[in-house]
Structure formats: structure tokens, C-alpha cells
């Protein structure tokens, strides 16, 4: 990324598009640092005095409501479901790419077809199942749902990543007399690492940001961070700064996860085994 490259017309366009996409996020952060009355003015007051009041409100300065339980709920739902998804999707993807089962493309299509029903169409039966099994307001139920929600995507992603593992490497390992476990650990895993990182990141983001299921199925104890975020919206009084502060804090873990995984991704790709 030299200066020379950045001045090319496409580079300028890329910068322009990039800024266009980042601008709303920056706007959110700026608004979160304004006082409620400055945040609500029209036209917006960009140069207004900065304050951390919105963040103080988020951490319960006036209501005394702690944001930690919902944040922890979100963390357990996202991490728990991501781990489950990986445990299930990696073997499935292996069976669909490296050692493909018969009619593996049908199987893949079956996985994809489970995503074809709009989520909202399933919400009522799922609610009733949760109610009759006593799983309403239970974080384990969300973990289960998020796992099944993300599993098809993860299988598809992992399959395409594992399909990249060159047959020659597997054959070479077989000739050297490597066992299945050794092959998986020493040959497949390093090549698949970027794929696993990308898949976990996507699953984590999807579950962290999920609102519909969380809003409908949780209540007093299992509420997640996005549900908590909406609780700042009121039809009487000002709330923009508070909501922006809450949105900023709640997007932080995703950003952190994103940067971490990006690092892994680049690392994994540059370790390319064939070149």
C-alpha cells in the first residue's frame, strides 16, 4: 500500500467507498460521546461538547441496571454455539470434501435447504416448543438454536476450505504412512486453519448480533446484549446518545474478534503449502 497506488483512480474510489461505509460507524461513536440534547438536535451539532454520560448510562449510572449479565449471556451463547458448530461442521465438511460420501452434493443441498425457511416463519412453533419444554428464558436453548442456525453455513464454508487441501499432500502423507489423526493434525489442520478462523468468526458474529430469537425467547435471566440495547429506546424522552454508547460497547467484542481472526486469516493464507 504505497502512496503511488493510492492515487490511482480505482484507489481513490476504493477509499471513497471505504469512508462511505465507515462513516455511519464513526457517526455512531461521535453521537455516543455527545449529551442527549446535543445528539437530538436537527441539524446535527458535530462540534458539541464531548461527554461520557452515555457510557455511564449504559453501565447503569442512573438506573442501577448492570449491563454485565446480558453481555455474559451473549458471550456464552456466541462462544458456546460457535464451539458446537465447529465440532459438528468440521467432520461433516471432511466427509463432504476430502473423503466425500456418496451423493455428497445432495447432502450439501439438504444442509442449504434448512436455511430456506424464513426464520420468522418458524418463530411460533419454536416459541411453543420452548414453552412446553420449560426452556423459555434459558440461555442453553439459544445456544442450541444458534448452533442449528449457523451449522449449514459453517458446513458449506468448511467444505469449500477443505476442498482446497491438495490431494497430493494427502497422498504424500499416506505414502509416508501417516495415520488419519496425524494427517488431520499435521496436514489438513494447518491448511484449513484460515477457513476455521473465518467460519468461527462468522458464526460468532451471527450469534452475537442475533435479535429476533433472543427477543422472543428470553425474559428476565437470559436476555442477550442486543435485547438489552433495545431497552434504551423510549418513546418519551431522548435516548440517541445512550443507544449509540450501548451500540458502540456491544460492537467492540465483534470488532476485537474480527481483528484477531483477520490476523489468523492472513497468517494462514501466507503459509500456503503448495506454493
Partner 1 sequence: MATSASHRALGAALAVTVVAATATACAGAGGGIGPGDSSSINVLMVNNPQMLDIQKLTAEQFTQRTGIKVNYTVLPENDVRDKISQEFSSQAGQYDVATISNYEVPFYAKNEWLAPLDSHIAADPGFDQEDVLPSMRQSLTADDGHVYAEPFYGESSFLMYRKDVFQAKGLTMPENPTWQQVADLAAKVDGAQPGMRGICLRGQPGWGQLFAPLTTVVNTFGGTWFSKDWQAQVNSPEFKRATQFYVDLVRAHGEAGAPQAGFAECLNNMTQGKAAMWYDATSAAGLLEAPDSPVAGKLGFAQAPVDRTKSSGWLYTWAWGMQKASTKQDLAWKFISWASSKDYENLVGSKLGWSRIPDGKRSSTYRNPDYLKVTNAFAPQTERALTSADPRNPGVQPRPTVGIQFVDIPEFTELATRISQDVSAAIAGSSTVDEALDSGQERAARVAAKHKGGQ
Query: By the criterion CB under 8 A, which residues form the site for partner 1?
Result: 40, 62-65, 84, 88, 95, 101-102, 127-128, 131, 133-141, 143-144, 147, 215-216, 219-223, 227, 230-238
Distances (CA, A) of 130 to 2, 134, 222: 56, 6, 13
Instruction: Quote the least distance from Cβ 106 to partner 1, whole Å.
Output: 12
83 within 8 A of 154, measured Cβ to Cβ: no
C-alpha cell at 244: 449509540
Nearer residue to partner 1 within complex by CB, 80 or 194: 80
Nearer residue to partner 1 within complex by CB, 63 or 270: 63
Nearer residue to partner 1 within complex by CB, 198 or 243: 243
Nearest to 253 by CA among 226, 271, 274, 216: 226
User: Over the Cα atoms of the chain, what is R_g?
Assistant: 23
Nearer residue to partner 1 within complex by CB, 233 or 269: 233
Separation CA 123–CA 117 (nearest Å):
11
| Residue 44 burial (10 A CB sphere; 0-12, 13-18, 19+) | middle
Instruction: Quote the least distance from Cβ 7 to partner 1, whole Å.
Output: 42
Instruction: Quote the least distance from Cβ 75 to partner 1, whole Å.
Output: 15
Instruction: Quote the least distance from Cβ 111 to partner 1, whole Å.
Output: 12
Instruction: Quote the least distance from Cβ 235 to partner 1, whole Å.
Output: 5
Nearer residue to partner 1 within complex by CB, 233 or 252: 233
Separation CA 198–CA 204 (nearest Å):
10
Amino acid at each position: 500500500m504505497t502512496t503511488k497506488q493510492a492515487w490511482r483512480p480505482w484507489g481513490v474510489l476504493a477509499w471513497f467507498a471505504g469512508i462511505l461505509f465507515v462513516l455511519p460507524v464513526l457517526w455512531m461513536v461521535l453521537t455516543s460521546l455527545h449529551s442527549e440534547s446535543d445528539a437530538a438536535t436537527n441539524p446535527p451539532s458535530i462540534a458539541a461538547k464531548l461527554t461520557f454520560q452515555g457510557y455511564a448510562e449504559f453501565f447503569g449510572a442512573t438506573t442501577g441496571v448492570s449491563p454485565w449479565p446480558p453481555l455474559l449471556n451473549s458471550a456464552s451463547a456466541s462462544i458456546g454455539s460457535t464451539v458446537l458448530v465447529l465440532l459438528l461442521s468440521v467432520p461433516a465438511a471432511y466427509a463432504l470434501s476430502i473423503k466425500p460420501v456418496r451423493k455428497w452434493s445432495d447432502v450439501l443441498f439438504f444442509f442449504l435447504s434448512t436455511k430456506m425457511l424464513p426464520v420468522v416463519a418458524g418463530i411460533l412453533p419454536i416459541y411453543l416448543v420452548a414453552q412446553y419444554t420449560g426452556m423459555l428464558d434459558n440461555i442453553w436453548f439459544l445456544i442450541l438454536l444458534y448452533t442449528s442456525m449457523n451449522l449449514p453455513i459453517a458446513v458449506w464454508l468448511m467444505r469449500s476450505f477443505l476442498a482446497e487441501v491438495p490431494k497430493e499432500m494427502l497422498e504424500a502423507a499416506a505414502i509416508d504412512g501417516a495415520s488419519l489423526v496425524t494427517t488431520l493434525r499435521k496436514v489438513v489442520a494447518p491448511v484449513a486453519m484460515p477457513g476455521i478462523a473465518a467460519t468461527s468468526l462468522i458464526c460468532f458474529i451471527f450469534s452475537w448480533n442475533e435479535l429476533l430469537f433472543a427477543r422472543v425467547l428470553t425474559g428476565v435471566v437470559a436476555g442477550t446484549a442486543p435485547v438489552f440495547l433495545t431497552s434504551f429506546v423510549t418513546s418519551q424522552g431522548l435516548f440517541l446518545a445512550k443507544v449509540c454508547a450501548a451500540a458502540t460497547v456491544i460492537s467492540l467484542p465483534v470488532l476485537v474478534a474480527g481483528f484477531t481472526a483477520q490476523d489468523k486469516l492472513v497468517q494462514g493464507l501466507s503459509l500456503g503449502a503448495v506454493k
